[in-house]
Amino acid sequence: MSVSRLRIHKVRNITSAELEPARINIVHGRNGSGKTSILEAIYILGSGRSFRATQLQPVIQHNSPECTVFGQVHQEGDIAVPVGVQRKRDGTLESRVQGAPVKRSAELARRLPLLLINSDTFSLLEGSPKVRRQFLDWGVFHVEHSFHSSWVEVQRCLRQRNSILRRDRISADVLAPWDQQLAREATALDAQRRQYFDAFYPIFFETLTELIELDGLSLAYQRGWDKDRDLLDVLEEAYERDAQRGYTGSGPHRADLRFRRHGLAAADVLSRGQQKLVVCAMKLAQAILVERSTARKSVFLVDDLPAELDREHRRLMCRLLVRLNCQVFLTCVDAEELKDCWDNLPDDALRLFHVEHGTVRQQT
């Protein structure tokens, strides 16, 4: 997948911009110039939402009723498909693919698989299980076509069960139908996650080894309930406790990925630079696995790659991105930090874009 033409309108300080991206795109400029807003616009195109704000109001330019992003997205067979997304201040999302309305943001995600690497990516090690669950589910979503419907059904069952748990004086019999359905859907969801993780695991460590040697690092998948028990038995046994708390304490919504080094939490013992290489390897491994499973290439959005990485590791990271043969958008303050990182790359495969006060200019 790739974007051959990108039009941005009223996204933060970018009033209007049109880009014709190449395979590797370096976006540089001073802090606050609007570099990250370009990545944000592409993210909106592929998901309908921002990675920088939970609400869209800060994303839409001041005094504008909406922001719009349009792109020519190349699919399998290099077929160009026009995709447009408009977000309004009232929260309305309008998306179109080839002129036809798109009802679900999942359809945008399938059209344009995006992998983001920014300062928030450290939360894959430091953050809550929810962040790692989202990372895992991104990969399963793009590999297993039925995953999304299973995930939606699990969320529906959890909402219903939790709603019942919050009522006064309920009996276990009232929960029984939802327990059975949740256990059935959760088992299917867990099987898909486990299959994906088993395929991801060796690719991740192979990729990490090309970036850095880290002895004693381990990665484990935890499904969210006792690995030796059926979820239905766990739910029935936890009825009293769940009723007191008002929510379901065990299930696929508690799944996690655990990183440890020599038995300790990896986030507590790895340096900042080591952490960045680990999370970069995770994202690269996801792109490799998705391509092997579906023949679809991901698009990388990398915000401030030079941060926390020395010249040698920047070159290693860029070398792996080149090998993936996918489209990449990178931001940095000084383009010189990245210009010599692209070995054996044709001249026309790399483009520089300079951003200043929201104005974007392509450079030769």
Which of 108-112, 210-214, 285-289 ranks highest by mean pLDDT?
285-289
pLDDT at 26: 94
Give 73-131 pLDDT, tens digit per residue.
987 667 888 999 999 888 888 999 888 998 888 888 888 999 999 988 999 999 999 99
pLDDT at 107: 84
Q: What is the pLDDT of residue 132?
A: 96
Percent of residues, the chain, with pLDDT higher than 70: 99
- The confidence score (pLDDT) of residue 25 equals 95
- 2's torsion region: left (phi>0), alpha (psi -120 to 50) or beta? beta
Distance (Å, whole) CA 356 – CA 30: 7
The domain limits of the chain are 1-113+296-364, 122-294
For the domain 1-113+296-364, what is the CATH superfamily, name and number?
Answer: P-loop containing nucleotide triphosphate hydrolases (3.40.50.300)
Question: What was the pLDDT predicted at 77?
Answer: 66
Q: Is 337 helix (H, G, I), strand (E, B) or coil?
A: helix
Residues 31, 333 contacting (CB under 8 angstroms): yes
Q: How do residues 319-350 score in pLDDT, each as one tens digit? A: 999 999 999 999 999 888 887 888 778 878 99
- Kindly report the CATH class assigned to 122-294: mainly alpha
Are the C-beta atoms of residues 299 and 254 closer than 8 Å to each other? Answer: no
**What's the token pair of residue 312?**
């040698």
Read off the pLDDT of each residue in 57-63 and give the average, rounded to a whole number.
Answer: 86
DSSP state of 61: P
Q: pLDDT digit string (tens) for 230-251?
A: 999 999 999 999 999 999 999 9
pTM above 0.85, yes or no: yes
